[in-house]
């Protein structure tokens, strides 16, 4: 999958999960009917948020984004619905591509982060499994720490 398509799909998935979380918050705090929407929507949103952040860093390394652009991409996941406008911005600026720069036959990696991305691109199944494990471990730690808003 190209960096462009991967980033676009995750940007849109982030929008969907924001919608689930916000709908759950309306059910919990406005109608006071159930908190199930926050529990489910919050978990799904958290997992997609972490995946989007990880992919943002990987694409940023591959495409040589500036630190400011990378931080803006990460920050876009914090603001509801901002990932799609950021993805559109990145597309207009030529920051996304149809090919991975660090894949076989592309540029040689020079830095440790570039070498890690190149290794992942050379072994995509292993990279997906490692990424899923990282997201799962971070999710588990965050669940153990408790919700971002303290319970009353």
pLDDT-based confidence at residue 111 (cuts at 50, 70, 90): very high
Instruction: Summarize the confidence of residues 12-34 as an average pLDDT.
Output: 95
pLDDT at 40: 92
Inside any domain, residue 152: no
Q: What is the DSSP string of 11-66?
A: HHHHHHHHHHHHHHHIIIIIS-S-SHHHHHHHHHHHHHHHHHHHHHHHHHHHHT--
Inside any domain, residue 139: yes
The span from the CA of 99 to the CA of 62, in Å, is: 10
Per the CB < 8 A criterion, the answer to whether 54 and 13 are in contact is no
**Residue 51 domain boundaries:** 3-145
Inside any domain, residue 150: no
Inside any domain, residue 68: yes
Inside any domain, residue 151: no
CA dihedral 11, 16, 17, 19 (to 10 degrees): 130
Domain count, the chain: 1
pLDDT at 45: 96
pLDDT-based confidence at residue 151 (cuts at 50, 70, 90): low
Inside any domain, residue 96: yes
Inside any domain, residue 122: yes
Residues found in the chain: 152
Instruction: Summarize the confidence of residues 92-106 as an average pLDDT.
Output: 97
DSSP conformational letter for 106: S
Inside any domain, residue 87: yes
Q: Is the pLDDT of residue 113 over 90?
A: yes
Cα Rg of the chain (Å, integer): 17
């Amino acid at each position: 999958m190209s960096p462009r398509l991967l980033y676009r799909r995750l940007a849109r998935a982030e929008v969907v999960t924001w919608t689930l979380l916000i709908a759950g918050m309306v059910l919990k705090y406005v109608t006071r009917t159930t908190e199930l929407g926050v529990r489910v929507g919050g978990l799904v949103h958290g997992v997609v948020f972490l995946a989007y952040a990880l992919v943002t860093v990987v694409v940023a390394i591959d495409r040589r984004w500036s630190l400011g652009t990378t931080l803006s991409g990460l920050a876009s996941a914090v603001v509801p619905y901002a990932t799609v406008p950021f993805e559109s911005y990145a597309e207009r600026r030529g920051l996304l591509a149809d090919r991975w720069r660090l894949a076989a036959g592309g540029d040689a990696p020079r830095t440790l982060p570039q070498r890690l991305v190149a290794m992942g691109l050379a072994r995509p199944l292993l990279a997906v499994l490692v990424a899923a494990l990282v997201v799962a471990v971070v999710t588990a730690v965050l669940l153990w720490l408790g919700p971002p808003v303290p319970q009353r």
